[in-house]
Chains A and B, each alone.
Chain A
Amino acid sequence: MNITLLYFGRPREMLATSSEIVQLPAGITTVAALLAWLRMRGNHWENELADNRVRCAVNQEMVPLSAAIRDGDEVALFSPISGG
């Protein structure tokens, strides 16, 4: 399963990554599982993508970390929003 990952705000800067296409190992079917998998990259990935820090959108809709992800999804990971 391939998904597009986008990063915004603090994680984009700290991880020095704004987008990537990743092939997920079998069994990763929720945002929470995706985050746990990305945290295995270590260092900043572990800190910036902690469940209590990161917010998520799937296909441009805000979702809780329990949300499902499917092949071809656009998954965005970001810090809490702060516009206006």
Chain B
Amino acid sequence: MGISIQHEDFDVAAELAALRAQSAETGALVSFVGLVRDFSGGERIESIYLEHYPGMCEQALAKIIAEAQQRWQLIGVRVIHRVGELKPSEQIVLVATSAPHRADAFAACEFIIDYLKTAAPFWKREQTAHGAHWLDTRQSDEQRMQRWFPQGDMQ
């Protein structure tokens, strides 16, 4: 269960190959890659800057992954999140899951990225031609997160 927070870019193919090599029981491999968009709210993005809370961030991600492992039958999970300055089209985040069957791998991958968006301490600042601003948690992200906790038992 690898968690990495780093400035350096990552190689999706190499990460998936490593997950694939973990077990011959793996029947499904699902990955999500989040990228820097070039427009936000009608403004052209020159770059984004990501910062995180060292220590708490790793703990929060470990907790999210542990929750996914309780809910679904998984073999491997890999999460890589980049920090620092990134340009449009660059990779920000990788969530990859492997499982015996695709339903578990799909659901767990979506759960982990939805949960990460609302619970892992990262902050994003967008740089446009008109200045820089820090983003708020998106309401749509919070709504996506709530879907996973229909009883309202989110911690």
Chain A minimum-CB-distance residue to B63: A61
Chain A interface, >50% SS class: mixed
Closest residue to A79 on the B side, CB-wise?
A: B134
> Are A84 and B117 within 8 A (Cβ)?
yes
Residues of the A chain whose Cβ atoms lie less than 8 Å from the Cβ of B130: none
The reply to whether the CB of B59 lies closer than 8 angstroms to some CB of chain A is: yes
B interface majority secondary structure: mixed
Q: Which residues of B contact A (CB under 8 A)?
A: 34, 50-53, 55-56, 59, 81, 92-93, 113, 116-125, 134-138, 141
Number of interface residues of A (CB under 8 A): 18
A61 and B150 alpha carbons, distance in the complex (Å): 23
Whether A80 contacts B136 by the Cβ 8 Å rule is yes
Q: What residues of A have a CB within 8 angstroms of the CB of B137 in the complex? A: 80-82
Q: How many A-B residue pairs have CB under 8 A?
A: 73
13 contacts between A and B (CB under 8 A): A9-B125, A60-B53, A60-B56, A60-B59, A62-B119, A81-B137, A83-B50, A83-B122, A83-B123, A84-B81, A84-B93, A84-B116, A84-B117
Could you tell me the distance between the alpha carbons of A62 and B51 in the complex, rounded to whole angstroms?
17
Q: Which B residues are CB-close (under 8 A) to A79?
A: 123, 134, 136
Q: Are B53 and A83 in contact (CB under 8 A)?
A: no
Taken together as a complex, chains A and B put the C-alpha atoms of A79 and B53 apart, in Å, by: 12
A 42-84 binary contact with B (CB < 8 Å = 1; else 0): 0000000000000001001110000000000000101111111
Specify which chain B residues have a CB less than 8 angstroms from the CB of A76 in the assembled complex: 53, 56, 121
Does the CB pair B134–A81 fall under 8 Å? no
Contact B117 A83 (CB under 8 A): yes
Q: Which 5 A-B pairs have the closest CB atoms?
A: A83-B122, A9-B123, A60-B56, A10-B134, A82-B135
In the assembled complex, A5 has its CB within 8 A of some CB on chain B: no
Q: Decide: A8 and B120 in contact? CB cutoff 8 A.
A: no
